Amino acid sequence: MKYSVLADVYEELEKHSSKLKKRDILAELLKEASVKDLGLLAKIITGSVSSLETGVSTSMIIKAIGKASGNPESEVKNTFKRKGDLGITAEELIKSKKQRALLKKELSVENVYDEIVNLPEISGKGSQERKLNSVAGILIAATPKEAKYIVRTILGQLRVGVAQGILRDSIAKAFDIDKKLVESAWNLNPDFGKIAEVAKKDGEEGLKKIVIDVGSPLMVLLAEKSPSLKDALESYENPVLEVKFDGVRTQIHKKGDVVKVFTRKLEDVTKQFPDIVKMAKTSIIAKECIIDGEAVGMDPKTNTPLPFQKLSRRIQRKYDIEKMIKEIPVEVNIFDITYLNGKSLYNISFKERRKLLEKSIKSTKDFKITKQLKTKDLKKAEDFYNKALAQGQEGIMVKNLEAGYQPGRKVGYWLKVKPTMENLDLTIIGGVWGTGKRTGFVGSLILGCRDKEKFLTCGMLGTGLKEKKTDDTDVTLEEITRLLKPHIISEKGSSIEINPHVVVEVGYEEIQKSPKYESGYALRFPRLIRLRTMEKPASQADTLSRIKYLYTIQKGKK
């Protein structure tokens, strides 16, 4: 498929706010696409070309636009300041390019996809220059409109309003299939590209044959937050309590002698955790299974849990893996099993899954099944909760023993109980450049909560950012600025608008109503607790409804 066709569709999608209209536009595109193109379209249409960061910053895009359009960087920057959108900047400058290639080869969706997916693979000496040339090369080959959407896709700022739900409904409409069946297939194999291909070739019968593929990551069940331990216990007839660990959600796949490790965001981290692979091979008795757990970093000297930030260094590390294993060994706590010897366990109760888990794993010191407490007694539950906090963990989980396993959703099967006022996971959507000692750094952060597909402001944070790092858990001005720079959308004076990407855990004294912020609420005395980007995407940040709920229950307002 020509990329120009997709660019036209993007343009149409931008014009409409209606989800039904977007669904219909996208359904027509999918219906006309070849089977070969469907897989690529399903990824590129949502902007999720790769699970890896491209490593292409705003400044690199500015240089690439300059190269492709024949303009100096200063002109690109000036246009960017006027337009506030690098995609539109590329479109305008390439449109006014003085010399145009006469026999320019038309780009295909496959060309663009391959170029973008290859960007994270460019590493080593001279990698920045090679990435710049790669981006500039594809922009040179693009029409102005194509350039607009290529730039946005690379930066993760597509802005056409197509999320997973719309894509699911588009596949259903395009191939006349019940959307519940499409979602069911996605739960078993969260690859809309494959699902679209099967739907086109084999229809409903083909989708019914989709099964879990051990070695391909699955969405995990997500917990809801409970306002109190008492409320959590009263939510279920048959509750069970487990420790909520401060680590990395770990999905482990075993098929024969092959073991793979994935994160909650479906990233393959098998190479970063060869120690988990070794433990899994020793401890897992089952021939084929998928287990759900949490890897916790441990202090090798004291054998006590390390903060998540320290463990996150292992996820990011590509080299010196053995050194990191010695510095930050892990303890894996297994709490669920979702697949066993050819059978999905999604529809089996947690009580029965636990029995199967205990038969499938031989617990060791560093790879063990999580301990449980079955009780509805508040005093016993409080003792369990306080013990978990004393051990340095986040809190506890209260789970429904009679519930199944619903991947990728918060459906009330699990509740998490943490110290109150409960911290919020919010996205940074803006900021202000600092002055004085903070000159050159983003000194204040504008926080955003989710409201459907939008992010609304709910406070400004400056407390909790350190000038110098005195501990691995500290977040410095330099670090947060480095993380935010690639996602800056526009600048006006000292104020900046930031694409929602970086998620932070925020503590606060209370929630107040405030007309100053788009959400209608403000956090009083917010402070940065830690970064959450490695474990939580912006699409899973806390919602406006969550803030409203916390507001009603604080100080007995409910």
Indicate if 53 and 133 belong to the same structural domain.
yes
Please give the sequence-ordered ranges of beta strands (E in DSSP) within 406-509, or none if there are none. Answer: 410-417, 424-433, 442-451, 454-461, 465-466, 475-476, 488-492, 495-498, 503-507
Q: Is residue 390 part of a domain?
A: yes
> CA–CA separation, 394 vs 372, rounded Å?
16
Rounded Cα distance, 504 and 527, in Å:
10
Show Cβ contacts of residue 303 under 8 Å, excluding neighbours closer than 6 positions.
none
Letter string b/e over residues 410-431, b meaning 16 or more CB atoms within 10 A of that residue's CB: ebebbbbbbeebbbbbbbbbbb
Burial class of residue 550, CB neighbours in 10 A (0-12, 13-18, 19+): buried
Residue (of 439, 416, 432) closest to 542 by Cα position:
416
CATH assignment of the domain containing 374: 3.30.470.30
Helix (H) or strand (E) holding 234: helix 229-234
CA distance 311 to 408: 24
Sort 285 into a burial class: Cβ within 10 Å, 0-12 / 13-18 / 19+. exposed
**What is the spatial distance between Cα 317 and Cα 103, in angstroms, rounded to a whole number?**
44
Cα separation, 33 vs 1, in Å, equals: 7
Record the pTM. 0.73
Q: What is the pLDDT along the chain (558 residues), one digit of tens a residue?
A: 999 999 999 999 999 989 999 999 999 999 999 998 998 898 888 766 665 567 788 889 999 999 999 999 999 988 887 877 889 999 999 998 755 555 567 899 999 999 988 888 887 888 889 999 999 999 999 999 999 999 999 988 788 888 888 999 999 999 999 999 999 998 888 888 899 999 999 999 999 999 999 999 999 999 998 989 999 999 999 999 999 998 999 999 999 999 999 999 888 999 999 999 999 999 999 999 999 999 999 999 998 888 777 888 888 776 788 899 999 999 999 999 999 999 999 999 999 999 999 999 999 999 999 999 999 999 999 999 999 988 878 899 999 999 999 998 788 999 999 876 789 999 999 999 887 678 788 989 999 999 987 999 999 998 888 887 777 678 889 999 999 998 998 888 789 999 999 999 999 978 888 889 999 999 988 999 989 987 888 989 999 999 998 888 764 444
**Closest to 93 in 3D by CA, of 134, 129, 63, 113:** 63
- Per residue in 382-425, pLDDT (tens digit) is 999 999 988 878 899 999 999 999 998 788 999 999 876 789 99
3-state secondary structure 305-330: ECCHHHHHHHHHCCCCHHHHHHHCCE
CATH number at residue 506: 2.40.50.140
CATH number at residue 30: 1.10.3260.10
Q: Which residues pair with 448 in a beta bridge?
A: 427, 457
Among residues 104, 131, 155, the one where a domain terminates is 155
Residue 50 has a pLDDT of 61
Q: What is the pLDDT of residue 541?
A: 94
Q: DSSP class of residue 180?
A: H
Domain around 400: 222-417
* Annotation says 326 is catalytic: no
Same structural domain, 371 and 293: yes
Last-in-domain residue among 417, 449, 480: 417
What is the DSSP pairing of strand 239-244 with strand 222-225?
Answer: unpaired
Determine phi and psi for 304, rounding to 5 degrees. -115, 155
Q: Do 398 and 321 belong to one domain? A: yes
- Asked if residue 191 is part of any domain, the answer here is no
DSSP string, 492-531: ETTEEEE-S--EEEEE-SEEEE-TTSTTSEEEES-EEEEE
Q: How many domains does the chain have?
A: 3
**Whether 453 and 367 share a structural domain:** no
Pairing of strands 330-340, 424-433: unpaired
pLDDT at 306: 86
CB 222 within 8 A of CB 540: yes
How far the first Cα of the chain sits from its last, in Å, is 55
Structure tokens of 496? 């900046």
The pLDDT value given to residue 55: 74
Helix (H/G/I), strand (E/B), else coil: 44: helix
177 SS3 class: coil
Which structure tokens are listed for 36? Answer: 């070969």
Tell me whether residue 59 is exposed, middle or buried, using C-beta atoms within 10 angstroms of its C-beta: 0 to 12, 13 to 18, 19 or more.
Answer: middle
E strand or H helix at 203: helix 192-208
165 is a domain residue: no
**Helix intervals (H) in 394-439:** none
User: In the listed set 365, 385, 417, which residue is the last one of a domain according to the structure?
Assistant: 417
| Active-site entry in 225, 244, 260, 536 | 244
| Residue 31, Cβ density class (10 Å: 0-12 exposed, 13-18 middle, ≥19 buried) | middle
User: Do 134 and 16 sit in the same domain of this protein?
Assistant: yes
